[in-house]
Amino acid sequence: MAPIFEKNELVMLEDLILLAKEGKDVRVQVQLRKQDISQKVHTVGTAERKAEFKSYLLIADYTCSVAGEVYEVPKVYIFGSEEESLTTAKMHKNIANERLKRDYQRLKDATIKIEEKYF
């Protein structure tokens, strides 16, 4: 049988939701992570001096199984700065969790069962 998705094809949650709505048995698990990243930015007024901007991503790594094939689908839910206030960090976490809730509901609406996890 031919693979559902071509090798190196970008698979998104929406693709898996559509397969489930077509009647395919789609199984999904999720792992959450925070990935620290560092960006070099030019400071205002000069192209020579560079500043380092420390930030982070809150990411959900979905592992999806369809017809014996396994696909990894990472999704970024928020981008934040390491220098942000505690209040802003909590707000970012709440936004990411609300976005997760919406995706969990979309998966459930397509009859895909998933254990809900939050940041």
pLDDT tens for each residue of 7-43: 667 789 999 999 999 999 999 999 999 999 998 776 6
**b/e per residue 53-85 (b: at least 16 CB within 10 A):** eeebbbbbebebebeeeebebeeebbebeeeee
CA dihedral 11, 12, 18, 19 (to 10 degrees): 40
Structural domain contains residue 89 = yes
Number of domains in the chain: 1
Average pLDDT over residues 41-50: 66
User: What's the pLDDT tens digit per position in 56-69?
Assistant: 999 999 999 998 89
Structural domain contains residue 55 = no
The pLDDT assigned to 53 comes to 83
Structural domain contains residue 45 = no
Structural domain contains residue 38 = no
Structural domain contains residue 64 = yes
pTM of the model: 0.84
The pLDDT assigned to 41 comes to 74
Structural domain contains residue 7 = no
The pLDDT assigned to 10 comes to 75
Structural domain contains residue 91 = yes
Give the separation between CA 78 and CA 12, rounded to whole angstroms. Answer: 17
Structural domain contains residue 103 = yes
Q: Which domain holds residue 72?
A: 13-33+60-109
